[in-house]
């Protein structure tokens, strides 16, 4: 649940110099206004568009900036129809702290022999764009470029990619991360300044008293727990946990869901072992945390805040994410075996292999081990993603494209997969990954996402390491 309810908005800026002391093409103004409406219509396929209309002069640029501020736009798409003095659009752009996409656009894809000057005036933005790009560079402002006519599929795909990245950044800036317990002792990669997290990503981190979960657990009855179990059985998931333990795990799952909803948390970084010795709960929460990940609430173990943020990004880019850790290098087949205790996203399981709910084998609590999921992820193209802590309050994004391969799940009470890197040998992958300051945890989502993650990094003004 975002901190503030807000619709993602795209601000459209369309400008050109038509009429001044020397230029006398004011008769094109009506056509220019129609042109802005046409670009707004195209962009509306990607989200709500705020279109203040075609502007030409400095006082109009000020008005555009004010409209964007009032509407709280998340991204600007800037288009020049024809030459414009760089100062005019910069008057607006310098007032706005959101990602900027410059669309070097035209209505035509050729310059025919029958073309007249009016056609030039609606299709010659390239004449003035160097002033804007150089001014943005001088101002140390990051921007993104798309070149192509209004109906070009490649240009639209690139715009869609940047808008997707901007949505991920907007989600981070409006997110609330809960922390239950503390980072696992001695894990240096999980040691970061959470104020630096807010400064860099915009996300706030809030502690959740583990007693809130205990109270919610105590308030959850057996009938409610049985509904949780029946929901899993209704999805053809085989329950192999004895009834009393399964109901206890389901009660904890329901309790976690209630605490997350009541606190308005977008993701949670949790120390799973926090309730093991507590006589009221006394089990590991793997079943509940995986269930929440499946329902688009990222959960990480060992109170890993940065991977919670990474999962939020992937949720926006791909619709689903999961949490993993590199385990074994299979040198013979150039594969990396990935898993992590009982944490994962069962909605991404290979349906052909099935999903089992089994007793976990990792951590024993006062009441036993608790329930976990055992399955293999379905095969397909994927991107691994992590956020590297590089010191002094700075971070970098790290990603690698490859594939999850079909496999028979091992009986290890955990989600699992074989990852094959698209770039070459697993030896080279592991060394490149280790040199990128990645953390011993990472996240994953289906699809080829390196370029979009690079855009996210650019919008956050940080480095992206592509493995």
Residue 355 reports pLDDT greater than 80: yes
Name the β-bridge partners of 382.
402, 446
Going by pLDDT thresholds of 50, 70 and 90, the confidence category of residue 118 is confident
Residue 365 reports pLDDT greater than 90: yes
Task: Note the pLDDT tens digit of each residue in 157-166.
Answer: 999 999 999 9
Going by pLDDT thresholds of 50, 70 and 90, the confidence category of residue 108 is confident
- Residue 20: count other Cβ atoms within 10 Å of its Cβ: 12
Contacts for 352 with CB less than 8 Å, ≥ 6 apart:
378
Residues in the chain: 467
Q: Is the dihedral of CA 239, 245, 251, 254 positive or negative?
A: negative
Task: Note the pLDDT tens digit of each residue in 41-81.
Answer: 999 999 999 999 999 999 999 999 999 999 999 999 999 99
Task: Note the pLDDT tens digit of each residue in 170-216.
Answer: 999 999 999 999 999 999 999 999 999 999 999 999 999 999 999 99
Listed in order, strand segments (DSSP E) in 105-242 are 144-147, 176-180, 204-208, 238-239
Alpha helices in 23-144 (DSSP H): 29-43, 58-71, 87-93, 117-121, 129-138
Q: pTM for this one?
A: 0.95
Structural domains in the chain, CATH included, are 9-173 (3.40.50.10940), 176-466 (3.20.14)
Helices 243-263, 286-294: inter-axial angle, 10-degree rounding: 50
Q: Are 18 and 26 in contact (CB under 8 A)?
A: yes
DSSP, collapsed to helix, strand or coil, labels residue 139 as coil
- Residue 249: count other Cβ atoms within 10 Å of its Cβ: 31
Going by pLDDT thresholds of 50, 70 and 90, the confidence category of residue 1 is low
Q: Are 105 and 151 in contact (CB under 8 A)?
A: no
Residue 331 reports pLDDT greater than 80: yes
DSSP, collapsed to helix, strand or coil, labels residue 328 as strand
How far from each other are the two terminal CA atoms of the chain, in whole angstroms?
Answer: 32
Task: Note the pLDDT tens digit of each residue in 384-435.
Answer: 999 999 998 899 999 999 999 999 999 999 999 999 999 999 999 999 999 9
Residue 98 reports pLDDT greater than 70: yes
Q: Are 437 and 386 in contact (CB under 8 A)?
A: no
Q: Are 342 and 223 in contact (CB under 8 A)?
A: no
Q: Are 277 and 366 in contact (CB under 8 A)?
A: yes
Q: Is the dihedral of CA 169, 104, 76, 98 positive or negative?
A: positive
Going by pLDDT thresholds of 50, 70 and 90, the confidence category of residue 26 is confident
Query: Which pLDDT value is given to residue 23?
Result: 75
pLDDT above 70 covers a percentage of the chain that reads 99
Which stretch of DSSP H or E encloses residue 420? strand 415-421
């Amino acid at each position: 649940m975002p901190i503030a309810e807000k619709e993602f908005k795209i601000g459209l800026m369309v400008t050109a110099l038509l009429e001044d002391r020397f230029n006398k093409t004011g008769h094109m103004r009506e056509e220019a206004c129609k042109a802005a409406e046409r670009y707004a219509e195209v962009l509306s396929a990607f989200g709500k568009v705020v279109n203040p209309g075609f502007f030409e002069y400095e006082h109009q640029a000020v008005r555009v900036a004010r409209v964007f501020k009032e509407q709280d736009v998340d991204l600007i798409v800037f288009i020049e129809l024809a030459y414009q003095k760089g100062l005019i659009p910069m008057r607006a752009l310098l007032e706005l702290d959101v990602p900027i996409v410059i669309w070097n656009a035209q209505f035509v894809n050729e310059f025919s022999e029958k073309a007249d000057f009016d056609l030039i005036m609606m299709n010659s933005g390239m004449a003035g764009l160097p002033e804007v790009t150089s001014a943005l560079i001088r101002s140390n402002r990051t921007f993104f470029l798309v070149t192509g006519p209004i109906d070009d599929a490649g240009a639209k795909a690139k715009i869609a990619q940047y808008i997707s990245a901007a949505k991920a950044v907007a989600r981070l800036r409006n997110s609330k991360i809960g922390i239950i317990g503390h980072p696992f002792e001695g894990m240096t990669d999980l040691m970061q300044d959470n104020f630096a997290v807010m400064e860099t990503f915009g996300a706030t981190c809030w502690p959740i008293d583990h007693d809130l979960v205990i109270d919610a657990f105590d308030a959850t009855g057996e009938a409610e727990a049985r509904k949780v179990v029946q929901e899993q059985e209704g999805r053809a998931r085989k329950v192999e946990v004895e009834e009393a333990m399964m109901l206890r795990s389901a009660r904890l799952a329901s309790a976690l869901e209630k605490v997350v909803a009541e606190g308005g948390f977008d993701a949670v970084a949790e120390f799973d072992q926090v309730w093991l010795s507590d006589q009221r709960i006394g089990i590991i929460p793997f079943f509940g945390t995986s269930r929440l990940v499946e329902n688009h609430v990222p959960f990480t173990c060992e109170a890993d805040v940065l991977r919670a943020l990474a999962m939020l990004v992937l949720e926006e880019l791909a619709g689903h994410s999961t949490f993993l850790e590199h385990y074994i290098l299979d040198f013979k087949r150039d594969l990396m075996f990935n898993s992590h205790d009982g944490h994962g996203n069962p909605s991404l399981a290979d349906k052909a292999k099935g999903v089992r709910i089994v007793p976990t084998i990792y951590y024993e609590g006062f009441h036993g081990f608790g329930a976990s999921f055992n399955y293999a992820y379905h095969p397909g193209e994927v991107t691994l993603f992590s956020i590297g802590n590089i010191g002094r309050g700075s971070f970098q994004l790290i990603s690698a494209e490859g594939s999850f391969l079909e496999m028979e799940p091992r009986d290890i009470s955990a989600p699992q997969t074989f990852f094959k890197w698209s770039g070459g040998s697993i030896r080279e992958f592991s060394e490149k990954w280790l040199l990128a300051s990645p953390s011993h945890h990472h996240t994953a989502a289906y699809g080829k996402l390196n370029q979009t993650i690079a855009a996210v990094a650019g919008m956050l003004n940080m480095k992206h390491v592509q493995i």
